[in-house]
Structure 1
């Protein structure tokens, strides 16, 4: 041996917030309303222990609609971090897309912009990146960025009924914890 150690390449996990990690309360602006789905804390800890870099990618059209502020969304995210526990911050980066559907899109999913920029910034191989979400927009962002996608049934709509999921043979899991058990051995 020459004394050099080979560092494994990092893997990236892009996660939707509402309907994936926490119960979708529709325009959640009160941190006290944050409710983790069962097993999310453990799944996040497992991903981190395996060396995954974690990225929160959330559409928050309530900001663009004037229902709440960016500061409200940041407080909700801070509560999510606190509930997840472990070393802080939990997420390497957070993208809050504040645009309403009728506003010009910058980061709003299904735009892949945040994923593409993050892959370039961190030097990830797209094959080492996965997006887990509950909606067609989440899956669309992943596909447009050229990364793997997985859908969960904890949102407002069963993703197995969405054409983007069925046509692209996206795996569907009951929960994020079930995805982690399957993919991370959690």
Structure 2
């Protein structure tokens, strides 16, 4: 990495819905889980490089009674069947109204994942498809990369420091020392 300003990357965290898997709102059915194009290859290249991988996901459907924590666990298990094992999972079951410290864009889940991995937040990056993913990363002191989808708002793209066209490009940015 060469630059003393950029700590060595040790982990890459991902948003789940719309980033690793196709977003199915409030999905509690593992049969509906579909990997995003390039997700498995991006994860495999990170794993091959010795980096930890994790998932940081808001699941407000739990607070709203639209799905259970067990439903989320079942969907997460299907994500792992499709994409391989993750070193850490963090899930916020709260709604935006709960004001919890874990729900993105708050940094709680990023900080918790880094603690569990035994690394500093500055040694992690978070890849996601909306502005709250990038804001959570930056609030924690990690690097945030936005991979826009059709639901990503223009202003979220404009405010993100690092934007990649897809997961492969996001991983390339990180591995090149962004």
TM-score, structure 1 as length reference: 0.82
RMSD: 2.0
Stretch of structure 1 that moved more, 115-124 or 23-32: 115-124
The equivalent position to 1:102 in structure 2, one of 97, 109, 132, is: 97
1:26 matches 2:25: yes
* Structure (1 or 2) with the larger CA radius of gyration: 1
Moved over 3 A (4+): 120-123, 181-185
1:180 matches 2:175: no
Specify the SS of the correspondent of 1:131: strand
1:104 Cα deviation after fit? 3.1
Q: Tell me, yes or no, if the aligned pair for 2:28 and 2:71 is still in contact at 8 Å.
A: yes
Aligned residues: 169
**1:81, 1:182 → 2: CA distance?**
24
1:183 Cα deviation after fit? 3.3
- Identify the residue that residue 48 of structure 2 maps to in structure 1: 49
- Identify the residue that residue 62 of structure 1 maps to in structure 2: 61
Deviations 1:89-147 (A, max 9, x none): x1111111000111231411111112223334444243321010011211111110111
Stretch of structure 1 that moved more, 169-178 or 104-113: 169-178
1:166 matches 2:158: yes
Deviations 1:1-47 (A, max 9, x none): xxxxxxxx770111100011111111111111111111111110110
Specify the SS of the correspondent of 1:102: helix
**1:123, 1:155 → 2: CA distance?**
35
- Identify the residue that residue 4 of structure 2 maps to in structure 1: none
Q: Tell me, yes or no, if the aligned pair for 1:20 and 1:175 is still in contact at 8 Å.
A: no
Q: Tell me, yes or no, if the aligned pair for 2:88 and 2:117 is still in contact at 8 Å.
A: no
1:184 Cα deviation after fit? 3.5
